Amino acid sequence: MEKVKKTKAKESTNTRKVIQDAFIKYVLTEGKLPTSVYKFCLDNGWQEGEFYQYFANLETIPAGIWEDWMNDTLQSLRSDENFASFSSREKILTFYFAFAEKLKQNRSYALYTLKHDFKVGTKPAFLLKTKKPFTNWLQEVMMDGLVKEEIAKRPFLDKRYPDLFWGHYLLFLQYWQKDMSPNLESTDVFIEKSVNLAFDLISKGAVDSAFDFAKFLFQQRRFSN
C-alpha cells in the first residue's frame, strides 16, 4: 500500500511539472499567457479534467512554479547530510546561492514573471505560495541560531527575523533581475555582502559589514551610469 501511495505521489508530481513546463514553453514562445484552459489542454493532448486536478485556473500556475522552485531548493538543502552542521549564516548563504542557481537555470521565464508581475510595494501573485515555506524554514534556522548563540536575543524583534529576511529575499530578486554581469557574478557578491551584513546586524560587528556593502552598492551604481 505504501509503495502504491509513493507511486501515485510521484505521478502527481510529474504531471504537475509537465503542465508547468508546457505553460512556461507557451509563455516564452508566444510572449503572453494562455487565455483558455480548454485550448491549452487541447494543444497539449490532455483532458481538461486532468488540468483541474492540479490547478484551479491558468492564473495559479506561476505561483505553483515559484513555490516548487522554493520547495525544491529547500528539499535539496535538507537532504544534504552536511547542511545540518552549518552555522545559521552559512545556511542562509547556501540557500541563496542554491536558489540563485535555480533561477539561473530558468532565467528567461523568471525574468518574464518579474518584469510583468513584480513591483516594489506590491504583493505579487506569483509569490503568494512562496513566502510560507521560506519563512517557516527561516524560523527553524533562526531558532537554531538563537540556541547556539549565533544570533543575539532581542525581545520583540526575534520573532520578526523571518519576515525581515523575506524583505531581503524580495530585495535579492530585484537585484538578480537587473544583474547583467557575466555568469551573474555580481549577484553572488550581493548575496555574500548583504547576508553577512544582515547577520552582523542581528549579532554584532555591523559597522564594517555595513560600510563594505554600502561601498559595493555605490560602485555598482557608478558603473551602471
Residue where one domain finishes, among candidates 31, 55, 79: 55
Instruction: Identify whether residues 164 and 105 lie together within a single domain.
Output: yes
Instruction: Identify whether residues 45 and 76 lie together within a single domain.
Output: no
Q: So what's the pLDDT on residue 6?
A: 46
Q: So what's the pLDDT on residue 86?
A: 96
Count of beta carbons in the 10 Å neighbourhood of residue 61 = 24
Residue where one domain finishes, among candidates 39, 55, 71: 55
Instruction: Identify whether residues 121 and 15 lie together within a single domain.
Output: no
Instruction: Identify whether residues 39 and 148 lie together within a single domain.
Output: no
The alpha carbon of 153 is separated from its chain's Cα centroid by a whole number of angstroms, namely 27
Nearest to 194 by CA among 223, 154, 165, 159: 165
Instruction: Identify whether residues 80 and 96 lie together within a single domain.
Output: yes
Q: So what's the pLDDT on residue 3?
A: 47
Instruction: Identify whether residues 2 and 72 lie together within a single domain.
Output: no
What is the C-alpha radius of gyration for the chain, rounded to an integer number of angstroms?
A: 20
Q: What is the 3-state secondary structure (H, E, C) of the chain?
A: CHHHHHHHHHHHHHHHHHHHHHHHHHHHHHCCCCCCHHHHHHHHCCCHHHHHCCCCCHHHHHHHHHHHHHHHHHHHHHCCCCHHHCCHHHHHHHHHHHHHHHHHHCHHHHHHHHHHHCCCCCCCHHHCCCHHHHHHHHHHHHHHHHHCCCCCCCCCCHHHHHHHHHHHHHHHHHHHHHCCCHHHHHHHHHHHHHHHHHHHHCCCCHHHHHHHHHHHHHHHHHHHC
pTM of the model: 0.85
Instruction: Identify whether residues 35 and 78 lie together within a single domain.
Output: no
Instruction: Identify whether residues 120 and 20 lie together within a single domain.
Output: no
Ranges of the chain with pLDDT below 50: 2-9
Question: Structural domain tally of the chain?
Answer: 2
Instruction: Identify whether residues 11 and 94 lie together within a single domain.
Output: no
Range of the domain at 16: 1-55
Instruction: Identify whether residues 125 and 175 lie together within a single domain.
Output: yes
Q: So what's the pLDDT on residue 151?
A: 87
Q: Quick: pLDDT tens for 116-158.
A: 888 766 778 899 899 999 999 999 999 999 899 888 887 777 7
Instruction: Identify whether residues 71 and 20 lie together within a single domain.
Output: no
Q: So what's the pLDDT on residue 5?
A: 44
98 contacts: CB under 8 Å, gap ≥ 6: 73, 76, 77
Instruction: Identify whether residues 158 and 100 lie together within a single domain.
Output: yes
Residue 219 to residue 179: CA distance in whole angstroms: 14
User: Counting Cβ atoms within 10 Å, is residue 97 exposed (0-12), middle (13-18) or buried (19+)?
Assistant: middle
**Amino acid identity at 136:** N
Q: Half-sphere exposure (CA, 13 Å, Cβ side) for 212?
A: 16
